[in-house]
Structure 1
Amino acid sequence: MYNHRKFSLFAFLLLPVFALAQVKPAASFRIVPLGVLGSADESNLSAYMLAPKGSSNYICLDAGTLHYGIAKAVAHKTFTVPADVVLRQYIKGYFISHAHLDHLAGMVINSPDDTTKNIYGLKSALETLKTHYFTWESWANFADEGGTPQLKKYHYKPLEPGSETAIENTEMQVQVFPLSHSNLTSTAFLVRSKDSFVLYMGDTGADEIEKSQNLHSLWAAVAPLVKAKKLKAIMIEVSFPDEQPDKSLFGHLTPRLLMNKMSELGKLSGVSLQGLNVVVTHLKPPYKSISQIKTQLKAGNKMGLNLVYPQQGKALEF
């Protein structure tokens, strides 16, 4: 009887220790997917709102779909304010990874109803917006550069690789890194809030196929953050299943290529990537292919990554 009581008391005293061991790190960011696919469905194309947890000062990482995605988020009670408030007041700026339509159409179409904001990106992406979209031939010029008259609602903010920039009207900072996407340059945005980071990557191919070192350079830059457990999530595309021939990837990744790249990141960081949050973006329908991609990612996930498949309108916290 005495031994039983002694064991019970010992177990009781250890309960707080066990509880603490199971507590997850506090979330630093809130991500609201407004669109998650890479083609076919114009109501669900790449766009992700991001803010420090507890803040309503969001940025929008790419902007393929806005209105429909915000409406879905309101329907899911992700936001408790009307959709027009989210568009006009919550989104403080747009970060365009590259100037393909599936990454910016929502911003262009919704510009008449929007408020004054910055559009951030590499010079190449902003130049395409200026000369091909906000032109009066394609759409009214809601920016403050380019064709006249300039409606001056949007202001272009070119970002330079190698330096961190404060994001206006938010509590966040950003660094940019070039990515190789077939015949153009895409962008990775490394967003910081205090001492925590999220890495959002636009469309990218693998270095060995793109004849580039851009992914390797990006991994080398973020490896110390992985090692220090400051990188809360990587948002990275997987567009096609492994059956897609290399010559038909057009600057995109497959499950096999993603796992190869993550293995490289693990080697550079010198730590296990088990549990690292990897948000899989830009899956391309048909939906049979999406199912294949998920099956192949699961089979190839030998590192124990926490693979996350975002759903339109449903918030994620990291």
Structure 2
Amino acid sequence: MLKRVCLIGLILTACFFKGAAQGPELGFKVIPLGVKGGIEEDNLSAYLLAAAGTDQYISLDAGTINSGIRKAIKAGILKGSAEEVLKNQVKGYLISHAHLDHVSGLIINSPEDSPKNIYGMPTVLGILRDKYFTWDAWANFANEGEKPQLKKYTYTALEENKEQPLAGTGMTVKAYPLSHVNPYQSTAFLVRNQDAYVLYLGDTGADAVEKSDKLQKLWMQVAPLISEGKLKAIFLEVSFPNEQPENLLFGHLTPKLFYQETKALGQLCKAGTLEKVSFIVTHIKPPAAKEVLIRKELKEGNRNQLKLIFPRQAELLKLD
């Protein structure tokens, strides 16, 4: 009997130390609250991102919030009421730029939200402060700008290539500028959970079209992480099919330009490593016929066999 008790004790001890050695989970989970660009106001750019094994989310952009949360609850990938998820599980917002299809959900849901941070580059926060959260346009739920300031939201400015914590999530972020109809800017966010990373790009044009070097500089920053196997996924937009004239791209990508940029990235990475990264294709614009064409052109142009993911609203993605 004593031997049996000792054996059980040894097994339990081994299991404990194995779990302790493993530590917190690497990787991420993503819940798309909205995936499209354009006119579908109940399905606009917003992705809940959390460290694997947690329900402490940062929202990557905030075009659609409540509608996406309700659909995710119905699908069984979020638990609780929509109010509980918004107030308790969404810990803050990373806003790439202040176009309405990326911030309208944040603004509309602000009366029902809980205190939290809005993270962004200073120019982005300035637009939220001076154009949206004003008493003429809505109400000032933030801690800066027109008075009275309701101080529900705290504007938290990001600096280029400086790592900053995302409160309540256990994750950190670095921000990098993008060109979105030069000289206007959007933002890329490099989010870290321990030794794992994801890269989210807001709306962006190709360097050649934008007469910019923003993407090349970003690729130089993240290529070492890809070569080391640490970057799990890249969220990258494709808004229009290849037939769209360059003068009507308005700071967006086509499948052809998508592959032009990923080729430039691949040239900076160790051979065979870019193919291990998941490319989450975002911001596809309606109508349905063009969406079908964009997917077709992306699949046909995928000569390097990149791992393409077409996210769907309220369908869980695991990145590990």
Residue ranges of structure 1 left out of the alignment (5+ in a row)? 1-25
Task: Tell whether the 8 Å contact from 2:26 to 2:194 is kept in structure 1 after alignment.
Answer: no
Cα separation, 1, equivalents of 2:271 and 2:95: 32
Matches within 5 A, 1:1-318: 28-183=27-182, 184-272=184-272, 273-318=274-319
Following TM superposition, by how much is the alpha carbon of 1:27 offset from its aligned partner in structure 2, in angstroms?
6.3
How many angstroms apart in 2 are the aligned matches of 1:64 and 1:80?
21
TM-score under structure 1 normalisation?
0.91
Query: What is the Cα deviation at residue 303 of structure 1?
Result: 1.1
Cα deviations across residues 251-297 of structure 1 (Å, max 9, x unaligned)? 00000000111111110113222242000000000110000000000
Q: Which residue of 2 aligns with 1:3?
A: none
2:142 is paired with a residue whose SS is: coil
Structure 1 position 167, deviation (Å): 1.1
CA drift of 1:84 comes to 1.1
Q: Deviations over 1:3-59 (max 9, x none)?
A: xxxxxxxxxxxxxxxxxxxxxxx8610000000000110000000000011111110
User: Secondary structure of the residue that 1:268 maps to in structure 2?
Assistant: coil
RMSD, aligned α-carbons: 0.9
Indicate if the aligned counterparts of 1:275 and 1:304 stay in contact, CA closer than 8 A.
no
Aligned counterparts of 1:27 and 1:239: Cα–Cα separation in 2: 31
Compare 91-100 and 264-273 and name the one that shifted more.
264-273
* Residue type at the aligned position of 1:287: A
Superposed CA offset, 1:86-114 (max 9, x none)? 10000101010000000000000000000
Separation of aligned partners in 2, 1:65 and 1:106 = 5
Unaligned 5+ residue runs, structure 2?
1-24
Which piece of structure 1 moves more, 270-279 or 220-229? 270-279
The alignment partner of 1:145 has SS state of: coil
Q: Distance in 1 between matches of 2:162 and 2:66?
A: 32
SS in 2 for 1:274: helix
Answer whether contact 2:142 2:152 (CA < 8 A) is retained: yes
Rounded to whole Å, the distance in 2 between the matches of 1:43 and 1:106 is: 9
- What is the CA–CA distance in structure 2 between the aligned matches of 1:300 and 1:62, rounded to whole Å? 28
Whether contact under 8 Å (2:26, 2:196) holds in the other structure is no
CA distance in 2, matches of 1:112, 1:166: 25
Shift of 1:162: 2.0
8 Å CA contact retained: 1:98, 1:202 = yes
Name the aligned partner's letter for residue 293 of structure 2: Q
Structure 2 CA distance for aligned equivalents of residues 271 and 120 of structure 1: 35
Which residue number corresponds to residue 9 of structure 1?
A: none
What secondary structure does 2:61 align onto? strand
Distance 1:210 1:74 in 2: 40
**Structure 1 residue matching 2:208: 3-state secondary structure:** helix
Return the offset for 1:81.
1.6
After TM superposition, the score normalised by the length of structure 2 is 0.90
Residue type at the aligned position of 1:155: T
SS at match of 1:235: strand
One-letter amino acid of the counterpart of residue 86, structure 1: V
Matched residues, number: 293
CA distance in 2 between partners of 1:296 and 1:228 (Å): 30
